[in-house]
Amino acid sequence: MNKIRKIHKRDVFVLVISLFLFWILLTVNLSPFYLTLGFFISLFIGLATTRLTIATVEGKRKTIKEYLIATEHLIALIFSVFIRIILANIELIYQVISLNIKPKIIRIKVNLKSDAELALISHLITVTPGTLVIDVEDADDEGSYLFVHFSYHCTADEESIEKIEKTIVKWDNLIGALFK
């Protein structure tokens, strides 16, 4: 689907450092053994998956400023996903207690182009409790359609759909900025 582009050492370095920082956040253990283990695991995964994550994305970052902007978008995306997961858990608990579940399947247009971008947004949506990406369909113009099953409950169904669409569009913009 996409052309494979030349992989730059800087891109691999950023991927390995990102994975290492994620390792630190997951383990919360700063002992030398775990830091070394985490670095080598991050290095192995970063080098092994470089062709999948970087080589299929068009464009490249040229300056440190662009890397900082991408890091800002990554932090905003992680924070947004974290908050959305907490809110979705609360809403799902309420649904289970009240037995008031109204599932829906909606079609949402996203402007993401590469398989890596679509996989990332699909995984983020699926990780959020009460949501599941059922299918991805190419749009006639740029972008794709995601078919999302969700079971959120609000006072009105339109509010639920608008809330989900707003979150997914926000993630779409952040992921699109990350992969520029």
Position 54 scores a pLDDT of: 55
Tell me the pLDDT tens digit for each residue of 146-177: 888 887 655 455 666 777 778 888 888 888 77
For domain 75-178, the CATH architecture is: 2-Layer Sandwich (3.30)
Task: Decide if pLDDT at 7 tops 60.
Answer: no
- Of 5-9, 22-26, 83-87, 176-180, the range with the lowest mean pLDDT is 5-9
Position 93 scores a pLDDT of: 86
Q: In the chain, where are the structural domains located?
A: 9-60, 75-178
Long-range contacts of 7-13 (CB under 8 A, 24+ apart): 7/50, 7/51, 7/54, 7/55, 8/60, 10/61, 11/50, 11/54, 11/60, 11/61, 12/46, 12/47, 12/50, 12/54
Q: What is this structure's pTM?
A: 0.64
Position 1 scores a pLDDT of: 45
Q: Phi and psi dihedrals of 3, rounded to 5?
A: -75, 145
70 in helix, strand or coil?
Answer: helix
Position 148 scores a pLDDT of: 86
Mean pLDDT calculated for residue range 12-21: 80
Mean confidence (pLDDT) of the chain: 78
Mean pLDDT calculated for residue range 112-116: 77
Tell me the pLDDT tens digit for each residue of 56-112: 555 555 677 777 777 788 888 888 888 888 888 888 888 888 887 778 788 888 888
Position 33 scores a pLDDT of: 92
Mean pLDDT calculated for residue range 15-19: 81
Burial of 43 (0-12, 13-18, 19+ CB in 10 A): middle
Name the strands in the sheet holding 144-150, side by side, starting at the edge strand that comes first in the sequence: 104-110, 144-150, 131-138
Task: Decide if pLDDT at 9 tops 70.
Answer: no
Residue-wise over 80-118: b if at least 16 C-beta within 10 A, else e? ebeebeeebeebbeebeeeeeeeeeeeebbbebbbebbb
